[in-house]
Structure 1
Amino acid sequence: MDAIETVLAMLLAVVASAYLVRLLPVGVPLPLVQIGLGFWIAAFSTHGIALDPEFFFLLFLPPLLFLDGWRIPKTGLLRDKTVILELALGLVIFTVIGAGLLIHLLIPAMPMPVAFALAAIVSPTDPIAVSAIAARTPIPKRLMHILEGESLLNDASGLVCFRFAVLAATTGAFSLASATLSFVWLVVGGISMGVTVTAGITWIQRWLTSHFGEPPGSPILVNLLMPFGAYLAAEHVHASGILAAVAAGIAMSYVELSGHAHAATRIQRSAVWDTVQFSLNGVMFVLLGEQLPHILKGARASLEDVGHVNSWWLVLYAFAISFGLMALRFIWVWATLRLTLYKKSRMGEEMERPHWRLLLAMSLAGVRGAITLAGVMTLPLLLPDGREFPARDLTIFLASAVILISLVAASIGLPRLLHGMEFPDEPHEQQEEDRAREVAANAAIAAIERAQIDLMSTSTEPDLYPQAAGRVIALYRHRLVEHAEHDEGRRFRKMDNAEKDLRMAALAAERKAIYNLARHGHISDEISRKLVREVDLSEARFR
């Protein structure tokens, strides 16, 4: 099987994993299935895929970080900013120092900078892996927002620490003053480049659209290229491409609020990005499984270099580092919670003490995944003097093992920890949604009334518009009544759900009838596609 066939097999494995995970017992996370399929591909492949670290980093990280920044809930990010910053910055530094010392203590022959590089690359958490577990395990919505915000920022902080550790390993020198200045430039330059690239591309795109129109598919392609542009621009000025991609995504979320994109573009763009995210995350885990035999072989060779012959030492190292990371995370979460409670009590504020099971769940939810894998694969093959990078294969193996162990621990532990717990509702979110629907419906009714007058004055059949306006306004009136207060509001919501069920049945019958007409040649394929798209958009709205 040549390289192209291997890549196609990996993409097919990503597709197959989505179906296999539905057949397996509840609790088996999707990334584990993808890793297993990758290992199976390696068993039947004549040769593996030789990875270029820089190419791997550029291909996978910018779009994933960009999308994380774009889709992260900004309200939750700002509301819990203190907790998120404590986890994304303080916990990362605490983990790098604690885990780095632990790794060097376990493996004295591993150079200290390499130990800190391994600690840095396993410090970021992965929201995609947690989401895969959360799909089958009830996790409080606010806790998920905190985990998402943490992963968004600790990707950048962990990878920046990783970059400094690798630099120290390759050059043999480390200056705190120089590192501090470099860190400041990496942060400021990276964020500035990300925002600038997004703003510049958006302005150019709007100018071109206003003067020449919008070619089909062009805005989506530009949007896909944006994270790569931000990343490369930042790297060109020696700033952090990682932070540039994140900042570009956050800036894009604010650009989206301007509402300049066409509705069809937004729908298609969302579908394209969902596919890109699913494909890139899936390929990364399949690739991890495909690389495991080679990684394991290299790790055994590195094990001999550090003075051990028995391969079981690899298992011992992997579990020791994994449980060390969980312990460090638990200590940090417990300590910061105690500090927060103390500050609140000093200020005279009451704060509900979280259940101990939530603290353990927070520790287990620190699942490592795509970012750790992408980062560790970028370790240089050679030092500047031509020698092999010390313990490279062992480092990659241990990072891969931490990913596997954290996934298994979370998939087994989280359902058991959170089983039977009752989580408080988020009433403010429902209130915000109801308020937004009410304001939007009133704006729509006012616009319909104005448009009715304008259209009646220019139309040759003005009598049509009062009746048409009445029908459209009735839909919005129903929406206003639907979100009334207290018991009446709940009753109308139940009625609305019943109406949705009936509409879904009607849309399915409508689509079936259209396809039946097309199959028998009563309408053309073009007309059938147009009508089915209208039905699909209606169904998407009700789903």
Structure 2
Amino acid sequence: MATLDLVLVLVVAVVVSSWLGRLLPLVATPLIQIALGAAMGRLGVDAVRIDPELFFVLFLPPLLFLDGWRFSGRELLQRAGPIASLAIGLVLVTVLCVGPALAALMPGLPLVATLALVAVLSPTDAIAGIALLRGVPLARRILRIVEGEALLNDASALICLHFVLLLGSAMAPTGPTLLAQLAWVGGGGLAIGTGVAMVLLSVKNAVSARLGETTATQILISLLMPYAAYHAAVALGASGILAPVAAGMVMGRWELGGTALPLTRLRRAAFWETLEFTLNGVIFVLLGEQLPRIVAQAAADLPANGLAGAWRLVLVTLVAWAALTLIRLAWVTAMALWHDRRQLRGACTRVRVLTILAMTFSGVRGAVTLAAALALPIVLPDGATFPSRNLVVAAAAGVILTSLVIANIALPLLARRIAAAATEGDDDTLRAARLRAAAAAMAAVEHAAEQRGGRADGEGQPWDEASATILSSYRARLDRLGASAGAAGAGDGREAAERDLRIAALHAERAEVAAMVAERLIDDETARLLLRELDGQEAALDY
């Protein structure tokens, strides 16, 4: 089958998976996509030949860039301890403990193979995990920690994989050389990604200021940014994983400044949401399509690995999943006890235990794990053949499938048993932000109306009438939000005057949102929600 036809078939499968997900709400969408991929193989779709290096470069930079884009720097600072504990500490402990344990339990598997397997299994899936947690009434703090972990552990796990492959070859660095290389890979990747993003954004802003802004061009620049950061970092020997993450964080911070046109932000957000869903969906569909072949190749390699019988592949998968789950359970429990050392009794103790279990089972493996597994090199850096590669890929695919199935069953059961958890004032924070933005908008409208209205020649009358109409709508909003703004005026104004005043009000609201972010009164997620609402209102004025 031609490449174009194959791409179209994969995209159609992703679309169908979305429809089936709505028809089967109790089944996680990745499971449906895996099943569709398996069906594709049964229906005679030509086998997909995956180039590991191309697969890695094509899928991972944009997904990691989007992770960084969405991540809130304020959330990172507020919850740096638990997020770093899970995203870095748990990954390192998992690789160093589970990898050698699997090698000891499975003598036929080389240590480099088990370490690589655990490294690709360490990152959790942000999209699947958060989607499965939506029905679980957890505190906002817990959800943010789980999300922050999933957004950051991709980079730490893939850096671990990079050094596992180096240490498994004859070219492995030692001593100070290893530490220097580690510092450059990590710090250099962050610095290069940040620098690339700042340069591209500066050039883009300068060109837009001179020639005007084109929405399509802005979207294409955002698409090119993760690949530019990745290739620049790889060319300089730094981390091609951290560079897109850093570029994404710069992009997210720049976007909150509100320099782009509202329509550009809306369309760019829609584009990236579509791209994310498509890439993740294609990865899971490919997993389903590749799974029978992966298992067959791994089973054929089992005798060479000293493992008698294909059932050992199932054993490796189950042992790896159980080890990952148990060490995650122990780590989350220790972290929870460290956070709150008070002895909890009765219902509170039950809620705490169920919350720990929910955090444990939410650590599903997904797109990044599969992309890293399929992208494992056929040869090590020194030219030697990667040992037991097929078995590692098959075990990784099995753990992904197992974690998704178990989480799809366990989390809904836990959701029914968790009584009520604190929401930490999410609604109050959002309402207070809207109140402050609305007050700033009213002040801007009154100021603009005073400048244009109140003239003796009668030309100011439309502006007075328009301001009365707009102020009426804002006072009604304040009343709905529970604030008293006095009596509302009414009247009809001219369309042009009303539009200009509404735009002035929206600009004032947007500036107030940026000020609240700078004052750390709201987090980045709340700011993006408010900005999207304002962008939608301003874009609607143009139609």
2:17 is aligned to 17
Question: CA shift at 1:137, angstroms?
Answer: 4.4
Q: 2:392 aligns with which of 390, 395, 399?
A: 395
Report Cα offsets for 1:421-445 as digits up to 9, x if no partner: 2333424322322222122112111
Matched to 1:277, the amino acid is E
Matched to 2:272, the amino acid is W
Q: 1:446 aligns with which of 433, 443, 448?
A: 443
Matched to 2:57, the amino acid is L
Deviates more, 1:331-340 or 1:473-482: 331-340
1:496 is aligned to none
1:405 corresponds to 2:402: yes
Matched to 2:294, the amino acid is I
Give the match's secondary structure for 1:296.
helix
Structure 2 vs 1, CA of residues 4 and 449 (structure 1 numbering), >3 Å: closer, same or farther? Answer: same
Give the match's secondary structure for 1:433.
helix
Report Cα offsets for 1:65-117 as digits up to 9, x if no partner: 11111112444333221111111111111100121022202321221112111
Distance in 2 between the 1:459 and 1:113 partners? 85
After the TM superposition, which residues 81-100 of structure 1 pair with which residues of structure 2 at under 5 Å, given as runs?
A: 81-100=80-99
Structure 2 vs 1, CA of residues 160 and 464 (structure 1 numbering), >3 Å: closer, same or farther? Answer: same
1:109 is aligned to 108
Distance in 2 between the 1:58 and 1:21 partners? 29
1:462 is aligned to 460
Structure 2 vs 1, CA of residues 11 and 482 (structure 1 numbering), >3 Å: closer, same or farther? Answer: same
1:481 is aligned to 479
Distance in 2 between the 1:422 and 1:76 partners? 26
Distance in 2 between the 1:460 and 1:197 partners? 55
1:229 is aligned to 228
Matched to 1:480, the amino acid is L
Report Cα offsets for 1:483-506 as digits up to 9, x if no partner: 226xx99xxxxxxxxxxxxxxxxx
2:119 is aligned to 120
Deviates more, 1:426-435 or 1:411-420: 426-435
Matched to 1:9, the amino acid is V
Report Cα offsets for 1:451-491 as digits up to 9, x if no partner: 11333369973211111110101111122222226xx99xx
1:337 is aligned to 336
Structure 2 vs 1, CA of residues 540 and 450 (structure 1 numbering), >3 Å: closer, same or farther? Answer: closer
Q: 2:469 aligns with which of 463, 468, 471?
A: 471
Question: CA shift at 1:308, angstroms?
Answer: 2.9
Distance in 2 between the 1:254 and 1:272 partners? 19
After the TM superposition, which residues 29-44 of structure 1 pair with which residues of structure 2 at under 5 Å, given as runs?
A: 29-44=28-43
Matched to 1:357, the amino acid is L
1:372 is aligned to 369
1:356 is aligned to 353
> Contact conserved, 1:56 with 1:378, CA < 8 A, in 2?
yes
1:169 is aligned to 168
Matched to 1:141, the amino acid is R
Structure 2 vs 1, CA of residues 238 and 39 (structure 1 numbering), >3 Å: closer, same or farther? Answer: same
> Contact conserved, 1:194 with 1:243, CA < 8 A, in 2?
yes
Distance in 2 between the 1:539 and 1:259 partners? 13
Matched to 1:416, the amino acid is L
After the TM superposition, which residues 252-263 of structure 1 pair with which residues of structure 2 at under 5 Å, given as runs?
A: 252-263=251-262
Identity over aligned residues, as a percent? 40
Report Cα offsets for 1:241-269 as digits up to 9, x if no partner: 11111111111111012111000001101
> Contact conserved, 1:77 with 1:145, CA < 8 A, in 2?
no
> Contact conserved, 2:14 with 2:278, CA < 8 A, in 1?
yes
Matched to 1:274, the amino acid is E
1:415 corresponds to 2:409: no
Distance in 2 between the 1:8 and 1:316 partners? 36
Question: CA shift at 1:46, angstroms?
Answer: 5.3
Structure 2 vs 1, CA of residues 261 and 133 (structure 1 numbering), >3 Å: closer, same or farther? Answer: same
> Contact conserved, 2:10 with 2:282, CA < 8 A, in 1?
yes
Deviates more, 1:282-291 or 1:426-435: 426-435
Report Cα offsets for 1:9-67 as digits up to 9, x if no partner: 1110000000112222x431100100111111122235312111111111111111111
**Structure 1 residues not aligned, in runs of 5+:** 346-351, 490-535
What TM-score do the two structures reach when normalised by structure 2?
0.84
> Contact conserved, 1:125 with 1:366, CA < 8 A, in 2?
yes
Report Cα offsets for 1:265-295 as digits up to 9, x if no partner: 0110111011000000000100111111221
Q: 1:437 aligns with which of 434, 438, 442?
A: 434
Give the match's secondary structure for 1:355.
helix
Question: CA shift at 1:370, angstroms?
Answer: 0.7
1:28 is aligned to 27
Structure 2 vs 1, CA of residues 385 and 243 (structure 1 numbering), >3 Å: closer, same or farther? Answer: closer
What TM-score do the two structures reach when normalised by structure 1?
0.84
Give the match's secondary structure for 1:170.
coil
Give the match's secondary structure for 1:408.
helix
1:521 is aligned to none
2:530 is aligned to none
Matched to 1:16, the amino acid is V
Matched to 1:476, the amino acid is Y
Matched to 1:470, the amino acid is A
Structure 2 vs 1, CA of residues 384 and 440 (structure 1 numbering), >3 Å: closer, same or farther? Answer: closer
How large is the Cα RMSD of the aligned pairs? 2.4
Structure 2 vs 1, CA of residues 433 and 336 (structure 1 numbering), >3 Å: closer, same or farther? Answer: closer
> Contact conserved, 2:166 with 2:380, CA < 8 A, in 1?
no
Give the match's secondary structure for 2:378.
coil
2:217 is aligned to 218
Give the match's secondary structure for 2:254.
helix
Give the match's secondary structure for 1:368.
coil
Distance in 1 between the 2:467 and 2:321 partners? 64
> Contact conserved, 2:166 with 2:381, CA < 8 A, in 1?
no
> Contact conserved, 1:114 with 1:166, CA < 8 A, in 2?
no
Report Cα offsets for 1:128-159 as digits up to 9, x if no partner: 11133234444443222111101122111110
Matched to 1:80, the amino acid is R
Distance in 2 between the 1:22 and 1:366 partners? 23
Structure 2 vs 1, CA of residues 465 and 132 (structure 1 numbering), >3 Å: closer, same or farther? Answer: same
